[in-house]
Structure 1
């Protein structure tokens, strides 16, 4: 479409009104919407009014390539507006001064209708805006409420997370305290030596649960009790835990006392070691500034278990001392006899009550022969020691009547079956007769004896032994004999010398045979030294769970009693 243009002269307000009315009609004819027409006419009126301020204006109208209409006022008060028209505007247009009053009034009324339509549309738009504003307000309120709920949920979630973390920390703390308590109990009850228990208490508690540990046993000398804190004395007197510090501890199950003069700046926790009675007092200073309540509960239980462990250790030591005194009282000195040297050793077990039923004996018979005896009653403790004493006394009584080794064992077996049906024993008896080169022996379930010949060769008395004494079966024991020339050594022993949990008894017998073969002539001349030399490689290099007896019998050239 070819652009066309024309120019209108606007020299008065009346001319401006006619031009505006004519342009309103042109816009209506071109199909411009009412709202856009109202905006267009307002711009035209405003532009022409500014142009007339200079007294006279030229309004140029030009059609655009897309069918629109461009209005322009050149000059110092320049104004320009382009109107998009759905239908093309044909130029030239009628001149503004060609409008008569009737047509001008009609145009003005039409413009008012356009304004009214625009205002109605504006009102609808305002109502719609108001509706959307209300809707937006409601939405904002909902968003704010949602934010508040989310914030509350976040706060609640953080509180739950904090509570969960605190619960986990408490559970972990409780687990750690219970684990320590279980380990401490195992350590305290692993020993029956009260001095070892006292040494282990500081090792367990320092430095994690206490900076310093002091243990006061109530059976100490009065001089040693002097200088103890008032809280320690109160705990010993009342049997109740005491806390002494510059501030109350308010610990569960613990009485509060003023700060100790011996420790005015740091609190002390005094825990009685109680079993049947108060054994002593465990006094602790905290690793930090104060004692933790949960840790205190654990420390109270540690002190209680330590008191029980100390009481058990002391009772055990009393029983052990009585049993050991009883047993050693029955291990008499060996007699001196021409032609026969004797040496014996007894060692208690390194574990347990340390007292068992092992024994040895040697004594002459009425015919001048000598009986060497070694035996072992099953079990440990006072009962085994008492039964061992009964067997030893009965054996001597049967032997004094002239019974040989086999008959003596048969009588012992019968006695034990009837008097102690649930107790068993092993025993070996060797008889040395003056002037005879042979030794006669019998065994009841006992490890075989070993003989070292004068040339240093070692042999095992391998004859099958009879059953153990006390087994509920009638049994007659048999005698055996072997040559024992002067310079020979017979070793009788209990199974504690050769038996170990990690190896069988046969390996121990072989080891003892090698040790006997390695003895020197000087050691054999001093039979006690030979006994010590045998025990060293067999026992001293390892702990043993059973008692041990060793009886060495050596025939001499001066009087070959073997």
Structure 2
């Protein structure tokens, strides 16, 4: 293992780096005079390529020497570490590491994290590091078992396959925060590689069944497996009983010679046993899904073999336990993400205004959070009536996709409202004043925006509307005319707000006839990393063309359906004049 990268340990390093939010994470194995790095993320390029350092540069050797967890908030204040060359070369001013042990308890290396600033490590961060250290130790033990069992080729190959499965499983489980999707993927990955078929069940803290999924390696049994999951989900007593049985022992349950007749006595819905017999049931293994927070057993992974595969061994049992641990980590992550996303969405929507009701003018707005991150960002829209009866319209986007961006967005929107209300200035001067205010108040905001004023005018025999607008680095407004034609109001670009204050910004004028629909939107609707903005504009033109009679609310839905990516927020304001 020395001097070589290991994909499984690299994945663990990346996982702990993301979850603990550190500058570097390493999986180390210590030799006689060198420290090897089979897993790493965040190290300098030269060291990452070499995958080894002298022990004189090792911070992890103190963990191995002590044989226990080591937490150092500031390495410069630690007598053993402050003179270590690794501190100077890596800039490792904070360190935390847990020992990795073999099956006999001997310490072989560490799972460690480092940061470039002194850091007070939290209890939850250390608990997570300890738990992932156990996972990493299990990986290490499986590697050792494989290396010392070369003479037993089949056993070694099996251990390798299971280790690969665990590595891939970790990557798969961290690829989504939808726990139902994650557990469904788990079953599909395990079926055929560790068992013939697999059932995954998850219980809520109240004891009710939250999730049941089933997968078989043979596509011919796909519908039967799906039906099995449906019947099991509709029989919560049996699922709760199975979870409770594992909770009582906190150990896996293994049956090498399963008798379907005995299952009939314990499982009331006979269809479950009938399907199991048809799919194949001669041995099974039930492993707990254990959360990292609180070490609670919240579900089970059920592995089942038919007559052609044979019973499960100790290696499969150990791997099944690891699968349960990783599934538990996914459960924790999903629940934490769900809570954070809910709070973020409530915050975001609380900062978006209620649109006014204006005779002759329909206003509709949508806000669509990104599908990644905390579901909060700097996109916003606004509309309010001036004392003279004109209507101010605004859509903007403060850079960022976090709580700070949302807070800044709220301040920028309020500045727009406070500065524009009651004034007859054109949108250009109003945006220029906003630019000066952002700089004068020291607000660290870089934002795009379109600010517009809509007035009813008397143009001959029929009413019409005059719209004036200014654009600070924002996608162009789009107008759907009553005849179904679409206008895109491209203008000479002007810089974003908050960069360099401008004394003047341009005001543009358009006349709008009744029956027209104006769209103001943020870049999440039209931009994609692989395409020019023109392609996004083309999509919304096509969706709008010929649809002047469509309800404005339905137009909102159609516009959102044109978005090709969901890693950015979308704010949309639709204005229809009558």
Does structure 2 retain, via aligned residues, the 8 Å contact 1:243–1:268?
Answer: yes
CA–CA distance in 2 between the matches of 1:246 and 1:174?
20
Deviation at 1:362, TM superposition (A): 0.8
Structure 2 counterparts to residues 305-316 of structure 1, below 5 A = 305-316=326-337
Q: 1:476 to 1:292 in 2, by over 3 A?
A: farther
CA–CA distance in 2 between the matches of 1:381 and 1:442?
27
Structure 2 counterparts to residues 378-527 of structure 1, below 5 A = 378-402=399-423, 404-417=426-439, 422-435=444-457, 437-471=465-499, 476-520=504-548, 522-523=549-550, 526-527=551-552
Unaligned runs of 5+ in 2: 1-147, 210-234, 258-262, 268-280, 459-464
Q: 1:174 to 1:209 in 2, by over 3 A?
A: closer
After superposing on structure 2, the runs of 4+ consecutive aligned residues of structure 1 that deviate more than 6 Å are none
Deviation at 1:291, TM superposition (A): 2.5
**How many pairs are equivalent?**
376
Deviation at 1:478, TM superposition (A): 2.9
Q: Which has the larger radius of gyration?
A: 1
> Are 2:243 and 1:243 aligned?
no
Does structure 1 retain, via aligned residues, the 8 Å contact 2:449–2:472?
Answer: yes
Counterpart of 1:548 in structure 2 is 570
Deviation at 1:327, TM superposition (A): 1.9
CA–CA distance in 1 between the matches of 2:387 and 2:524?
32
Counterpart of 1:293 in structure 2 is 314
> Are 2:301 and 1:276 aligned?
no
Deviation at 1:242, TM superposition (A): 3.3
Q: 1:217 to 1:384 in 2, by over 3 A?
A: farther
Q: 1:233 to 1:379 in 2, by over 3 A?
A: same
Deviation at 1:449, TM superposition (A): 0.9
> Are 2:354 and 1:333 aligned?
yes
* Between 475-484 and 303-312, the greater mean CA deviation after superposition: 475-484
CA–CA distance in 1 between the matches of 2:503 and 2:161?
61
Deviation at 1:441, TM superposition (A): 0.7
Instruction: Render the CA deviation track for 1:40-64: whole Å, top value 9, x for unaligned.
Output: xxxxxxxxxxxxxxxxxxxxxxxxx
CA–CA distance in 1 between the matches of 2:236 and 2:439?
55
Structure 2 counterparts to residues 74-85 of structure 1, below 5 A = none
CA–CA distance in 2 between the matches of 1:293 and 1:475?
75
SS of residue paired to 1:427: strand
Does structure 2 retain, via aligned residues, the 8 Å contact 1:272–1:303?
Answer: yes
Does structure 1 retain, via aligned residues, the 8 Å contact 2:150–2:156?
Answer: no
Counterpart of 2:277 in structure 1 is none
Deviation at 1:422, TM superposition (A): 4.8
> Are 2:210 and 1:192 aligned?
no
SS of residue paired to 2:151: helix
TM-score by length of 2: 0.57
Counterpart of 1:23 in structure 2 is none
CA–CA distance in 2 between the matches of 1:268 and 1:430?
66
Structure possessing the higher relative contact order (Cα contacts under 8 Å, 6 or more residues apart): 1
Q: 1:171 to 1:209 in 2, by over 3 A?
A: closer
Q: 1:508 to 1:245 in 2, by over 3 A?
A: closer
Equivalent of 1:233 in 244, 248, 257:
244
Q: 1:316 to 1:330 in 2, by over 3 A?
A: same
SS of residue paired to 1:379: coil
Deviation at 1:191, TM superposition (A): 0.8
Report the structure, 1 or 2, having the larger strand content: 2
- When the two chains are superposed, the root-mean-square deviation of aligned CA atoms in Å is 3.4
Unaligned runs of 5+ in 1: 1-162, 248-258, 557-562
TM-score by length of 1: 0.59
Structure 2 counterparts to residues 83-162 of structure 1, below 5 A = none
